[in-house]
Amino acid sequence: MNDSIFTEKRAFPRFEVSIPVSYVETHSKKTSEARTHDISAGGVGIITEEELSAGASLGIYLRMVDDGGEIYRRGKVIWSSPLDVNKYRVGIQLEEPNLKPIPIVLRTIKAQRKY
């Protein structure tokens, strides 16, 4: 019998939500499109068509579906894992963890229900 107890180690709650996102790789200036998988005040999980290298610096633009506004943050790729052919899940740590996810999540859920 396993007596170990799972302890959450994340500093911020994480919310599964799909928000359109574009990102710019700092070293190459290449811009790509993706969608979030989940979001928290300290990081963003995205689904991409390309593998991103751990340690890569990114500029991230979250696009709000309700009003078209954008939220810009800088971040660093912590991990990248293949899901399928040309499909990767990527974990990004935000440089300035001040993204307020609850209002974003609620606005996004409300906007997605309209469609």
Alpha-helix runs per DSSP H in 1-115: 101-113
pLDDT of residue 83: 95
Other Cβ atoms less than 10 A from the Cβ of 94: the count is 20
At a CB cut-off of 8 Å and minimum separation 6, what does 21 contact? 33, 34, 35, 36, 44, 46, 60, 61, 62, 63
* Domain boundaries, position 85: 19-113
pLDDT of residue 115: 54
Of the segments 17-21, 101-105, 108-112, which one has the largest average pLDDT value? Answer: 17-21
Q: Give residue-wise pLDDT tens across range 42-89.
A: 899 999 999 999 999 999 999 887 777 888 999 999 999 999 999 999
CA 27 to chain centre: 20
DSSP for 58-74 reads: EEEEEEPTTT--EEEEE
> Residue 93 is part of a domain; what is its CATH number?
2.40.10.220
| Domain contains 95 | yes
Q: Is residue 89 part of a domain?
A: yes
Distance from CA of residue 81 to its chain's centroid? 14
Average per-residue pLDDT for the chain: 83
Look at 10-19, 69-78, 95-104 and tell me which has the smallest mean pLDDT.
95-104
Number of domains in the chain: 1
| Least-confidence region, from 4-8, 18-22, 55-59, 94-98 | 4-8
Is residue 12 situated within a structural domain? Answer: no
Kindly report the pTM of this predicted structure.
Answer: 0.78
* Residue 58 · residue 77 · CB < 8 Å: yes
Which pLDDT belongs to residue 6? 43
